[in-house]
Amino acid sequence: MLLYINQLDMKRYLSLLFFCFCFSLGSLLGQTVIWEENFDGQVGKGVWGDGAGGEIVDLTGVNWTLDYSNCSFSNDEDFIKVDSYFSKGRFEARDCDGEAVWESEDINISGFSNVSITAKLAETGSSSNPNKKYIRIYSIVDGTEYPFDLNSEGLGNFSSLQASTTITSGTSLKIRVRLRSDYAQDVCFDDIKVTGTPGAPSGNDTDSEIAVPDTQVADQTLVAVTANQTESEVFKFKITDKGTADTKPTKPTKIILKKAGQNTLDWANKILRLLKNLP
């Protein structure tokens, strides 16, 4: 980290003998992706018919679960699985003759506020029976199931939907999707994303260190000749987060410079500006 001072009419040594930092105890505020699922790289994962009234199951390597106990698969074109979609994947149900339930892994949302979830819901074909062709999406917060706030279900023949919901409190989250198609037509979902604003950790950062660098700026006399004189390096220091005790990040957000008692420079009029190269 370097500090630069641009001087006007400066004919004195600049003595900056004391400085201090105010640390931010949290990370940068703003929406952070907590968890997401787009099914890319999972094409073929799920359950489908074997062509003889039985079923083939492949759920290895996935972090979600699938309950297909109420479904049946008459032929090998009947399935509940991740299917290929424009070279990627999305989760689909086709001619499964019963409701399947997809459920995400546990998602830790403790320490986040303004938690929101979005997902895409869609279907193919023209069958419009809402009891035999549907998809519904829910959040499960601390064990309680809630339908999404917006576009929580698609029934029969519907246009593509962007489902969304907001969670005001809670620590544990799952996402559950109930879907059914009794026809050779698909109901499907994709691109589930959970975002939130990380909260500032409690307590103080206790293991950061401000130290003299290995090589300090040499003593010098700074004399201003022109108003647009090149900036000069005055001094530098280093900050190290030891990361051994409090597990909290260190983010400098403000630098306070105090002049020493013997410094008589007119700071208000003679120091033009201060540049802070903060990470």
Domains of the chain are 2-26+203-276 (no CATH), 32-198 (2.60.120.260)
Residues with Cβ within 8 Å of residue 95, at least 6 apart in sequence:
73, 74, 77, 78, 79, 181, 182, 183, 184, 185
Q: How far apart are CA 243 and CA 206, in angstroms?
A: 9
Lowest mean pLDDT among 14-18, 64-68, 97-101, 140-144: 14-18
Give whole-number Cα distances, 103 to 8, 65, 132, 140, 192, in Å.
66, 5, 20, 10, 12
Model pTM greater than 0.85?
no
Which tens digits make up the pLDDT trace of 56-110? Answer: 999 999 999 999 999 999 999 999 999 999 889 999 999 999 999 999 999 999 9
What end-to-end distance do the CA atoms of the chain give, in Å? Answer: 8
Lowest mean pLDDT among 76-80, 170-174, 267-271: 267-271
